[in-house]
A and B are shown apart, each in its own frame.
Chain A
């Protein structure tokens, strides 16, 4: 819906400017981006809705404290370059955040407009600015004079890239070590092309490199060098090794052929481009696919399986839709594309044929009981309600457990009972001097933006540590 132009600035308009997107019928057959981004007119219309609050609550809701009213004001002035500069002052990865951040629970959740109607589409505006800049060509950013201090960042996901950018801007020499052949971490292997085009990730990494950061792919800390050896070579180390090993349910049939962890399935499809026949990557193109889990990863896996040509994809989740940890927008998009939601349902066992191939999943209906430790009502099986869902591919997306490799050959790095690195919430400082940690390696699987927030905080703490050193 097009906004009426020429209204008085500062006066809130009722309707939020919609984002153009590929129709569901079309996009379910391709891996191109679902949402197409604002045009200049869309952006101006949406930006004019911002009330430019004196005490902006939206900024408080942003883990990296982007000056939201500031950049939106610059959009209103059609100073798009100024707007992106303002965003990049605190956020090194705006093209990514504009696409994958859960704005509805962060900045947009705090927008005062949201109380009476819909909040300003902050995420879409951020994306517009980043895309505008990318089309124009990214300017070489300014960095402070070299401090002579060296920082190692272990992992090139959102936390690592953010910290590396901030530290490089402060004049520190940063080297990122990445175990895979491509930088980006979950942005490269996990989030699908249709939600975050890999070309954008590549360009954001390129921007970080322009700041003087060196990225070393194919380099595994814990194998090529231990953390202790790294500590000898660098003045500080930031551990951002990600969420780790995929969890399985421990039910019968989980090792049958055709059962994937979401990590493996998504890595094959995204990083290794199994959807492109020009690539050698193998992946099973299921006709009947069952995805277990209710998070963003489950949505990504289900929608990817659909695009590989499945006739039917269903999500099996043990709680209800309200309890699903996935973003609203992802759930809506999945529904529009025809993904079936089997809620209050849990797999009991996976069935296979004599050739060890998956044939189906036996499920049971669940009901919600008393709230558990997480505050969510815990699901309880309803006896005698078992039923069979046909499947030739099953994807398990029920979270991850920490990777033990980083702890090999590292003295004095404390881990908690769950195996994640123990780190100070504010600074990322660990029990080992000069070693900081953040992102999923500390919190367990979370969001891109929370990892970036941790990267920002740690960069500040590392800079202070280096100055004192």
Chain B
């Protein structure tokens, strides 16, 4: 791999302590899903559940937003979990402990509004379980009864099961193929709980947009607050570019400063999904080019 600018400075000056964004641990926790623990003291110190970071691998890289999956203030570390999708996430997957990221900025976005509400249902799908995890911890320590429902296509793709077990009062699992837990969708379990008559104050749903849309639809008829966390395309993450705009309740909002959490009943999910597809053609092309280069041994 070509050394990044930061790595070069470290390499030639020996002043690696100046460079905060070192990868401390990296693990493939499910096929093509990776967990990365990064040393980023300032970010870790200020991070709260519901926030995200933006990272850049090297000078020529994209700025990629990822939700914070965990953080330890004392150790100065931030955990992110990502699935190999585009070129950048595939490139990230090739890095290992000891490598550096050129940029790692955050915490971004408005923190989740976590306080004692009573019973809260947290629903996470796919890699959406990652941002649900710090919320589970935070809702629990705020004194809530936390019912978590996590799901994936199959049992191999299920992540953070043990962690979620510990962080929740109750944990339910659903897989599309029935290889673990409920055979079906996370939203089926959510509906069952809401139907049971238990008083639920809030439902938080995080996952692929289509899952959040369906989940919001299922929960809508019930007397419960429904929140979703959106992962829009963005550049700076501080409100400057407006690329992350989304229509909420008929008004244009910026995900990075007004969100990322919004009232699910008001989100225009169709527009959200369309906007996320904006660069799909270019992304596919970039992946193909990158993989061809990898085969040639350029990376």
Contacts and interface: CB of A to CB of B under 8 A. Distances in A.
Interface of A: 179-181, 189, 217-220, 223-225, 242, 244-246, 248, 250, 254-255, 257-258, 260-261, 263-264, 267-268, 272-273, 278-282, 284, 355-356, 403-405
Nearest to A254: B252
A403 B239 contact: yes
B99 interface: no
Given A218-B103, A220-B108, A404-B257, A255 B271 contact: yes
Given A224-B43, A254-B252, A261-B243, A282 B105 contact: no
B102 A244 contact: no
Contact of B42 (A180, A219, A355): A219
Nearest to A402: B239
A224 B237 CA distance: 14
Contacts of A405: 238-239, 257
A267 B238 contact: no
B240 A245 contact: yes
Interface stretch (B60-68, B156-164, B197-205): B60-68
Contacts of B106: 220, 223
Given A218-B105, A245-B240, A260-B243, A181 B42 contact: no
Interface in B243-299: 243, 245-247, 252, 254, 257, 271, 274-275, 277-279, 282-283, 286
B283 A282 contact: yes
B242 to A, nearest CB: 4
Nearest to A279: B60
10 contacts: A181-B105, A225-B46, A246-B240, A261-B243, A264-B243, A272-B62, A272-B63, A280-B60, A280-B286, A404-B257
A219 B283 CA distance: 29
B88 A280 contact: yes
Contact of A282 (B103, B240, B246, B282): B282
A280 B87 contact: yes
B100 interface: no
Contact of A246 (B102, B242, B275): B242
B103 A224 contact: no
Interface of B: 42-43, 45-46, 56, 60-63, 87-88, 102-108, 235-236, 238-243, 245-247, 252, 254, 257, 271, 274-275, 277-279, 282-283, 286
B239 A248 contact: no
Given A254-B252, A282-B279, A268 B235 contact: yes
B279 A356 contact: no
A50 to B, nearest CB: 41
B242 A263 contact: yes
A329 to B, nearest CB: 26
**Chain A interface main SS type:** loop
Contacts, number: 107
B245 to A, nearest CB: 6
B243 A223 contact: no
A244 B240 contact: yes
Contacts of B242: 245-246, 248, 261, 263-264
A255 B235 contact: no
B240 A220 contact: no
A205 to B, nearest CB: 15
A264 B239 CA distance: 10
A218 B113 CA distance: 25
Given A224-B107, A282-B283, A246 B241 contact: yes
B105 A179 contact: yes
Contact of A245 (B87, B254, B274, B286): B254
Contact of B257 (A245, A257, A261): A245
A149 B140 CA distance: 44
Contact of A264 (B43, B241, B257): B241
Contacts of A356: 271, 274-275, 277
B253 to A, nearest CB: 10
B108 A255 contact: no
Nearest to B239: A245
Nearest to A178: B105
Given A224-B43, A248-B245, A255-B275, 12 more contacts: A179-B105, A179-B236, A181-B102, A219-B42, A219-B105, A255-B247, A258-B278, A260-B243, A261-B241, A280-B62, A282-B62, A405-B239
A250 B251 CA distance: 9
B252 A220 contact: no
A334 B32 CA distance: 48
A264 B278 CA distance: 14
A284 B103 CA distance: 25
A51 to B, nearest CB: 44
Given A223-B46, A260-B243, A181 B103 contact: yes
